[in-house]
Structure 1
C-alpha cells in the first residue's frame, strides 16, 4: 500500500538507512518462462470515491488487466457480515470483466478508527498483533476465493512509545506474527507478498531478506515480495531498474508510481524523478507474471482521470497499444 504513517513526516533523507543485515544472494530456482507481456492494474485505494462496481467497470473499460483490491469499508469490507457471499459476488464480477486481482491490506483505519494502520504486527499488545493477524488470515481466504495472485502486507513501524521497542524484539514479533499467516498462505496456495515500506521496520530489500532468513526461507511461493517502484527511488541505494533485477526471483506483486529521492510521496507519472522505460524493461525481462499496480492512495479525488492517464503512460513506456475508454 501504501503511504507514510501520520506519525512519520515525509522528510528528506540524505542517505538510506543501513540494512539490518546483508542480504543473501542465493536466489530460489525459477520455473516460469520469461515474458514481455506486462499486466497492469490500478489500486482501489486510489479510487475510494467510486463504488467498487463502478471502479471495476472503469478499469476494464480503460483496458487494465487487473486491480489491486484494498480490503476496506468502502469496497470489500473484511469485517462486515457475509464476507464469503460478498467475496463470491466480487469474484464473479472480476471474471465477467476479465480482471485479475491482488488483495492488498493497507487500509488506513480498517482495524482502529483512531490509529492509522494500527494495530500492526509489531504492536506491544499481543491482542493488537492478533487483530492484525486475523485480518491477514481473512485476506488470504478472500484472495483464495477471488483467485488472486498474491496477498500484500507490510510490517508496520517500530513502536517508540514507553517502553520503547528494541529492534530485536520488533523482528521477533514480526516473524512470530507472520508464521500462522504463512501457514494459511501455503494451504491456500496464495503467496504472501511483504512490502518494504519507508519508515517501517521492514523498509528495504535487505530487510526483506533478513525476514526471509528469520522464517527459514519458506520460498517465494509462500513468502514473496511486493516491490514498490517509488520506494526504490526514495530509499534504495540501487536504481529502481536494478532493484527489479535484484528482486526478480521473489517478486509476487509490484506497485508503481513516480517518486523523488528521499521523499516518500506517491506521485502521478511524470511528476517525480523515475526513468520508467528501464524499469518496465527489467520487469519484462524478469518474466514477472503478476500485476503491476498503479499506487496513488492520496489521489482518489482525481482517480478516474489519473487511471486513464496512467494506463496511457504505461502503454507508451512498453510500446503497447490499446483503446482508451469512451
Structure 2
C-alpha cells in the first residue's frame, strides 16, 4: 500500500565536483592517484519478497541467480522465531547457507509474526509494557539467530507512534525498550541496525542520530539505510544520504521509489538514479549486504529476483567503470501473471 508523504523539496546540491579544476593533461604522470577506493558491492535479496517459496527453494534460487546473500525476515513461512526448536532449525539453516555460499542479515519486519490482527504489532512503542516486552523478546531472539548464522547485522525499526501518545513519551519507551536488545547485541558481537521508516517515530537520519545520542552512542548501534526511503523523504539525495550515513552503516536495503510516496518499486519504475548511489556506497568501503526489498512483489518474487541483480550489476559497472559481473542464466521470465511491470 502506498502512502503519500508531504515532503519539502531538497535544497540545491553542493557543486563541489563541478568546481574542481579539470585535468589539462600536463600534470606529472608520476603524481600519486587520488581516485577513491572502489569496494565491490555484495547484493542480496529479501525473503519477504519470496514469501510464496519454501525457504530452501528461495535460498537455492538466489544462489543460482548469483546473489551474494539473503536478507532473512524471521516469519512463520520461513524461519519462525516463535516455533519450537529454534536453535536446531537455525543450525540447519547455517549449514545450508554455508553450502550455498550465501551470507545473511537478519531482518525483523514481518507483518504479523507477533499479532495476527495488528500489522507490525506490538511495537517498541506500545502503551502496554507486556506487549513492548514481546517485541523486545523477538529482537533478542533475532540477535541470537544472527549470532548462530554469522549474520553481519540484525535489522529493526521503531514502529508507529500510538494514537494519543506524546512524542517525548514515545522516545522514552523506544530507548528503554532497546536497552536490553543492545545488551544482547553487544554480548553476541552483532550490530543492531535500526531502520528509519516513513511514518514511524524514527523516520529519518536525523531521528537515528537522536536515538544514538539518547542511548549514549553505543558501539553496537548502527543504521539500516533504505535507499528508497532516502528518495521518499530525506532532504538529501540518496547518494548524499549514503555519504552522510557511512560511519554508522551496518545494513542497506535497496529498491526504486518516488519522492513523497512510500511505495517499494522494481528498479526502473521509480525516480532514483542508481549509479551515483552505488558509487557512493562503494566509496564508503561498506562490506555488508545490499538487499533488494520488494515485499509487495512477492507474488512474482522469482521474476523480480531474476531481473534485479543484472540491473544492479549494470548500475555498479556504470558507477565504477568496471565490467558488469552478471552471471548468465537464460532469458528473463515473461512478465508474470498479475504484474503491471
Same fold by TM (over 0.5)?
yes
SS in structure 2 at match of 1:102: strand
SS in structure 2 at match of 1:42: strand
- In the alignment, structure 1 residue 147 sits paired with structure 2 residue 153: no
Aligned-partner Cα distance in 2 for 1:271–1:52: 28
Gap regions ≥5 residues in structure 1: 17-32
Aligned-partner Cα distance in 1 for 2:295–2:312: 18
Q: What is the alpha-carbon root mean square deviation over aligned residues?
A: 1.4
Question: Match for residue 286 of structure 2?
Answer: 288
C-alpha displacement at 1:323, in angstroms? 1.4
Deviations 1:37-95 (A, max 9, x none): 10000000000010000000000000000000000000000000000010001100000
The alignment's TM-score, normalised by the length of structure 2, stands at 0.86
C-alpha displacement at 1:35, in angstroms? 4.7
Deviations 1:83-126 (A, max 9, x none): 00100011000000000000000000000000000000000000
C-alpha displacement at 1:36, in angstroms? 1.6
The alignment's TM-score, normalised by the length of structure 1, stands at 0.90
Question: Match for residue 241 of structure 1?
Answer: 239
Alpha-carbon contact 1:225-1:251 (below 8 Å) kept? yes
Aligned-partner Cα distance in 2 for 1:151–1:213: 20
Deviations 1:131-161 (A, max 9, x none): 000000000000000000000000000000x
Question: Match for residue 59 of structure 1?
Answer: 62
Following TM superposition, where does structure 1 have runs of at least 4 consecutive aligned residues deviating by more than 6 angstroms? none
Question: Match for residue 223 of structure 1?
Answer: 221
Structure of greater relative contact order (alpha carbons < 8 Å, 6+ residues apart): 1
Aligned-partner Cα distance in 2 for 1:192–1:145: 15
Question: Match for residue 184 of structure 1?
Answer: 184
Question: Match for residue 20 of structure 2?
Answer: none
Aligned-partner Cα distance in 2 for 1:83–1:325: 35
Q: Which has the larger radius of gyration?
A: 2
Aligned-partner Cα distance in 1 for 2:180–2:264: 31
Mapping of 1:26-175 within 5 angstroms? 35-160=38-163, 164-175=164-175
Question: Match for residue 28 of structure 1?
Answer: none
Mapping of 1:2-13 within 5 angstroms? 10-13=3-6
Gap regions ≥5 residues in structure 2: 10-35, 318-323, 331-341
Aligned-partner Cα distance in 2 for 1:300–1:58: 14
Alpha-carbon contact 1:61-1:324 (below 8 Å) kept? no
Aligned-partner Cα distance in 2 for 1:131–1:306: 34
Aligned-partner Cα distance in 1 for 2:328–2:161: 43
C-alpha displacement at 1:34, in angstroms? 5.5
Count of matched residue positions in the alignment of Structure 1 and Structure 2: 299
Mapping of 1:197-216 within 5 angstroms? 197-216=197-216
